[in-house]
Amino acid sequence: MPEIQVNGQPLNVKAGISVLAALQNQGIWTTRTSVSGEPRGALCGMGVCFECRLQVDGKIQKACQLMVQQGMKVVLDAR
Amino acid sequence: MHAEVLVVGAGPAGLAAARAASKNAKVTLLDDNAKMGGQIWRNRPDLKLPANVQWLPSSGIAGVLDEKTLLLEGKALSFDQVILCTGARELHLPFPGWTLPGVLGAGGLQAMIKNGLDVAGKTIVVAGSGPLLLAVAALARQKGAKVLKILEQAPTWQLLPFLRALSAGKILQAAQMGPQTLLGYNPDAYLLQASGEGQLQQVICQIQGKTVQLECDLLAVGFGLVPNLELAVQLGCRLDQGFIQVDDTCKTSQKGIYAAGEITGIGGLDRALLQGEISGLAATNQTIKNLVPRLRASQRFVRTLKNSFTLRPEVLKLAQPDTIVCRCEDVRLSQAQQHDNWRSAKLHTRLGMGACQGRTCAPICQILLGLDSPQTRPPIFATPLKNLLLEEEP
């Protein structure tokens, strides 16, 4: 079971799943705050809508297209 | 990097194209996902490629450098022939509450489940239009979710031509999904709104004329598919009624450029496989003669699919003046309505200028407001500036 960090907190997740699924499985459905301050979560699940973008290992990436890797550092709602 | 035959997109059409072309040429296959299979075969473990297919996963295309060269993130990739199999995305139509976390695309939920989302014990409503709704509901149930309702906006009479056009194989496949597949299936039913505190909690819908409220954890909505035309258009391929124009050999209007699958017309898996095979053979000078009659039949299925799931006027009127149409820039319907063309709406409201570059809102504004967006601006996907710079080749 790979361990990732979400906002600094360690989290053990299933291998072979997306970062998005790992967060959703923890009940985290809000991935970002919109420009007018609304909570938003993933819509398309396939890299088109960009609603699931997060900071992962210092880079803004689409959580739905990224598979979990040991030691990944995920920051929610990063700019 | 150079590819003899480049296949863009590793879904069913792209895989079929790569296999067929590899019998007579060296093939490079790329996709912006980490694994091959596309949306439909996402995470299928048994997909194999022939030896002379080079596989480039997680390769986003940033732009077109010239008619025979693409820009990957920081690298140029030239080709002799290219087969575009860029597929389709879901058509989303806005309704009050559609931006709440927990409201997903129907295909979105399918993709998330295939990528590891655990839906066991979740209460789900599936709504919209098209055969995808049933597939999503079946998958969610198989994984332990409670699918309360499947709301199909088309009335029963409109669905009949689709049922008649299904092949024996498809009917058998549906029968194997079991009678529970149709549990909660309601034609002539559509969403009115979704609501909740910071997250989806309930939906209100119209089922055969009655207004019904349902409590649920997730709402999966899909109103059909729109083709991913950006790359093909930037390569100069001509369109025909909103899709890439191809002949019987899957050749586009541009020399050396072929297209297969959903970007040439929404027709599902069988047609994508057939067109993929034809394009791969044709691009490498192999015979396709016996496949052409099957292709013609598949075009008829494309038309039947379109007619059976034509959207009713009510679902095009669900958005209220304050409903967001552009999720990246939070542009509301009333703001977009003040403009009679895409460019003006963009310049005044930032519509379509966010991270998704209009992929979600452009079809919405086209359908609801008649605003046509050009799909010709680079980059193809929003990408960091450094990716637009070519790395020095050693």
Write down the ipTM of this complex.
0.97
Residues of B with CB under 8 A from a CB of A: 32-34, 39, 43, 58, 89-90, 92, 99-105, 107-112, 115-118, 198-199, 228, 327-330, 354-356, 359-360, 382
> From the list B33, B102, B105, which residue is nearest A65 (CB)?
B33
Distance from CA of A79 to the nearest CA of B (A): 12
Chain B residues with CB-CB distance to A46 below 8 A? 39, 89, 107-108, 111
C-alpha B127, offset from chain centre: 17
Q: Which residues 16-75 on chain A approach chain B with CB closer than 8 angstroms? A: 16-18, 20-22, 24-25, 29-31, 34-36, 38-51, 53, 64-67
C-alpha distances in angstroms, B250 versus A17, B233, B236? 35, 16, 15
Please list the residues that pair with B146 across neighbouring strands.
B123
User: 3-class SS at B107?
Assistant: helix
CA atoms within 13 A on the CB side of A75: 8
User: Would you state the structure tokens that stand for residue B212, as one six-digit string?
Assistant: 């019904």
Q: Which residues contact residue B305 at a Cβ distance below 8 angstroms, ignoring those fewer than 6 apart?
A: B130, B131, B162, B165, B266, B267, B268
Cβ of A39 and B382 within 8 Å?
no
Would you kindly state where each structural domain of chain B is located, as residue ranges? 2-89+226-286, 92-223, 319-394
- Tell me which of B86, B91, B115, B351 to substitute to probe the interface with A (most A C-beta atoms closer than 10 Å): B115
CATH topology of domain A3-75: Ubiquitin-like (UB roll) (3.10.20)
Query: pLDDT tens per residue, chain B (394 residues)?
Result: 999 999 999 999 999 999 999 999 999 999 998 889 998 898 888 999 999 999 999 998 999 999 999 999 889 999 999 999 999 999 999 999 999 999 999 999 999 999 999 999 999 999 999 999 999 999 999 999 999 999 999 999 998 888 887 766 666 666 666 666 778 899 999 999 999 999 999 999 999 999 999 999 999 999 999 999 999 999 999 999 999 999 999 999 999 999 999 999 998 899 999 999 999 999 999 999 888 888 888 888 888 888 899 999 999 999 999 999 999 999 999 999 999 999 999 999 999 999 998 999 999 999 999 999 876 777 887 777 777 777 666 5
Which member of A29, A31, A44 has the closest CB to residue B108? A44
Angle at B110 between CA B107 and CA B114, to 5 degrees: 140
Fold of domain B2-89+226-286? FAD/NAD(P)-binding domain (3.50.50)
Domain spans of chain A, in order of start: 3-75
Which residues in chain A are closer than 8 Å to B231, comparing Cβ atoms?
Answer: none
Superfamily assignment of B92-223 in CATH?
FAD/NAD(P)-binding domain (3.50.50.60)
Of A38, A39, A46, the CB nearest to B111: A46
The Cα B199–Cα A24 span in angstroms is 13
Whether B2-89+226-286 shares its CATH topology with B92-223 is answered yes
